[in-house]
A = this chain, B = another copy of it.
Amino acid sequence: MGKQKLAIGIDIGGTNIELAWVSPEGKYIKHHSYPTNSFPELPNVINALGDYILEQNQLLDEYDIIGIGIGAPNGNYYKGTIEFAPNLNWEGVLPLVDLFKKKTGLPTCLTNDANAAAYAEMIFGKAQNVKNFAVITLGTGLGSGIVVNGQMLYGHTGFAGELGHTVVIENGRPCGCGKKGCLETYVSATAIVKTMNELFIHSKAESLLSNLEKIEAKDVAIAAEKGDSLALQAFDYTAKILSLQLSDFIALFSPEVIYLSGGLAKSHQILLPLINKYLNQDVLRIFKNTTSVEASQFVDSNSGVIGAAAFAFQELGKN
């Protein structure tokens, strides 16, 4: 019998960079976290993480370490690069795969962070037997990883799956991407705060949140759980807009399941019944009750680094 395999996952986020050695069962053998802003330049990341990986791999010599999987915003699978990621300080087109390969000598692969969440679901989560599904991450923005016939959708460029930047309201809210009315400006942790603030202006109803100087998505969730009617309205609006776009998404992809993940999806007990109600109204007849919307297996944890490791198993495990 050979050594047990491990994959190294790296999840690069705007706040933290997570690094973990993960078993084929999805368990952490070792886990480490760095604040992203502790690395002013990209070479600092490569050196710090690379050195730590080489050092730890020596201590883990009873394992067969198959390589590194990286999940990152605006990550390009084909090129192994991060390109113009708005939440990261390092600018331009960054050849992470080449740099990590050179530094560590390990096989390395890279994908978009929402795709990594979809790999987590595919390899370790609820989608292990599902061939057509999507994971939608509701965090600062809205990301999506789409799986067709058991394969991640990358498209011609490697950037496919940008559901967050499809337009749901013509001439709607301005988006960081330069367009207007993108789905993520209505459906994300950031967006529900905007919705709540709009409701304050247009409604006379009392709210538990009326006296807070600055509210966060978490506050809206807590208030909604307590039955606050304005906060519940904010969730209702969020679900309504998401369902509008999901009914088109279903007409295109006809997935078996759509999993919700990320901070805002922690409120799935409030969101899911609303989404299902609206979806049932909006969806084309032939698709009625054919797609289930569910919470991700990783809705209460961060699937990023687990997903990056899952991706490494999928991509490098064959070799």
Interface bits A112-147 vs B (CB < 8 Å: 1, else 0): 000000000000000000011000000000000010
The answer to whether the Cβ of A157 comes within 8 Å of any Cβ in the partner chain is yes
The answer to whether the Cβ of A270 comes within 8 Å of any Cβ in the partner chain is no
- Complex-state Cα separation, A149 to B153, whole angstroms: 8
Contact B170 A290, beta carbon cutoff 8 Å: no
Binds B, one of A18-26, A60-68, A248-256, A300-308: A248-256
Contact B155 A253, beta carbon cutoff 8 Å: yes
- Complex-state Cα separation, A239 to B192, whole angstroms: 34
- Complex-state Cα separation, A157 to B160, whole angstroms: 22
- Complex-state Cα separation, A83 to B249, whole angstroms: 21
- Complex-state Cα separation, A317 to B178, whole angstroms: 48
Contact A151 B149, beta carbon cutoff 8 Å: yes
| B-chain residues with CB within 8 Å of residue A165 when the two chains form the complex | 251, 284
Please, how many residues of chain A have a CB less than 8 angstroms from a CB on the other chain? 45
| B-chain residues with CB within 8 Å of residue A255 when the two chains form the complex | 155-156
- Complex-state Cα separation, A288 to B132, whole angstroms: 28
Contact A177 B285, beta carbon cutoff 8 Å: yes
Q: Which of the residues B151, B170, B285 comes within 8 Å of A170, measured between beta carbons?
A: B170
Q: Which of the residues B149, B252, B282 comes within 8 Å of A163, measured between beta carbons?
A: B252
- Supposing A132-B155, A155-B132, A290-B157 touch, asked if A178 and B285 sit within 8 A by C-beta, the answer is yes
- Complex-state Cα separation, A285 to B56, whole angstroms: 40
- 5 A-B pairs with C-beta separation under 8 A: A83-B286, A148-B155, A156-B256, A162-B284, A166-B251
What 7 new A-B contacts, CB under 8 Å, besides A158-B254, A159-B286, A169-B170?
A155-B255, A156-B255, A159-B254, A160-B253, A163-B252, A248-B248, A252-B252
